[in-house]
Amino acid sequence: MYTSVDAISIDTDVSIVAHAPSTTRTLAPDPLEQLLRVFSSLQHVPMASSTGTASGAVAFEASNPAGTMYEAGPREEEPGLEAWTGARLSAWLQQASRDHELAVIAMDPNSERAPAANLVAEIEELANFEDDWDMHGASRVHRNAIENAASFAWKLGAFASQFEPFADPDGSAGLEGHTAKGDVYLSFAPSGRVAYVVKTKSGMHRGYGADESVLRQLLAGLL
């Protein structure tokens, strides 16, 4: 059973791949019904809820942390389930995915956002660590820290494939990246502060509490 869904990608009109923690499954042949089933089985849905009506009409809702609400699905006056082809669902999910904070995204598997979606799914797995996971008193990774790291991961785009997450014992969420030009280590605190270490051939930079523009500048030289 899925406990959360981090990313949903549309492979074809009739195939939906849902990336859940430690799981990748292809849902077919009826993507909408399958997706609805997945959504209805979720125990932890940070971004979405689904409803089915007696008439068989379906609606999806997704909201981001800022409170913006996305809605999709046939209205009462609209045709029912059959109107929701894979293409239409895909179009809606793509629209919703334009918000980087949204945990549900739709994408072509060849999309340049696919690496970021995969990285975000891996970051979400940090939530599985419990207190004392390192046997030396580590704190579990804080939900805010995970969201801060995931938010940054979306901005990495195709470069996300060069990053990997790690649990920081103080409850922060870490990301390490290795490129031909150097290495980067980031730790996203629940408070929003970011500690960073960037090591390139020309030297080492580090800081704590950096804003995103500083991070982007540093990463620009690395990616």
Partner 1 sequence: MSFGNYLLASCKLWVLFLQHSSSALAGLRSPMSVNDREVMGRELFSGHLDNKKKRRLKPNVFMPKDKKGISVNRLSLAPRDLFLALARRHLYKRRRRATATNFYGFAEISAGDIRNASIGGSDNRCEVQGTVTAANPFHADIRLPPDTEKDARLEVARQLLEAARYEPLK
Does residue 98 come out as left (phi exceeding 0), alpha (psi in the -120 to 50 range) or beta? Answer: alpha
If one asks whether residue 134 binds partner 1 (CB under 8 A), the answer comes out as: yes
Using rule CB under 8 A, residue 59 touches partner 1: no
Binder among 91, 133, 181, 214 for partner 1 (CB under 8 A): 133
Shortest separation between residue 188's beta carbon and partner 1, angstroms: 11
| Residue closer to partner 1, measured from CB, 38 or 126 | 126
Q: Residues 129, 157, 200, 214: which binds partner 1 (CB under 8 A)?
A: 129
How far CA 173 is from CA of 57, 193, 217, in Å, comes to 40, 11, 21
Strand partners for 18: 8, 25
Residue 88: exposed, middle, or buried by beta-carbon count in 10 A (0-12, 13-18, 19+)? middle
- Asked if 83 contacts 67 with a C-beta cutoff of 8 angstroms, the reply is no
The helix or strand, by DSSP H or E, that contains position 143, with its residue range, turns out to be helix 143-156
Contact of 185 with 196, CB cutoff 8 Å: yes
Compute how many residues bind partner 1; rule: CB under 8 A.
34
Pick the binder of partner 1 from 135, 180, 203, 220 (CB under 8 A). 135
CB of 122 to partner 1, least distance (A): 8
Q: Which of 151, 169, 181, 214 binds partner 1 (CB under 8 A)?
A: 169
200: contact with partner 1 by CB under 8 A: no
**Binding string to partner 1 for residues 82 to 121, with x set by CB under 8 A, is what?**
----------------------------------------
Q: Of these, 45, 139, 150, 156, which contacts partner 1 (CB under 8 A)?
A: 139
Using rule CB under 8 A, residue 195 touches partner 1: yes
Query: Three-state SS string across 91-103, please?
Result: HHHHHHHCCCCCC
Length of the chain: 223
Distance spanning both ends of the chain, measured CA to CA? 37
C-beta closer to partner 1: residue 11 or 183: 183
Question: CA geometry: angle at 171 spanning 169 and 176, to 5°?
Answer: 70
Q: Which residues bind partner 1 (CB under 8 A)?
A: 122, 125, 128-130, 132-139, 164, 166-170, 174, 176, 183, 185, 187, 189, 193, 195-197, 199, 204, 206-208
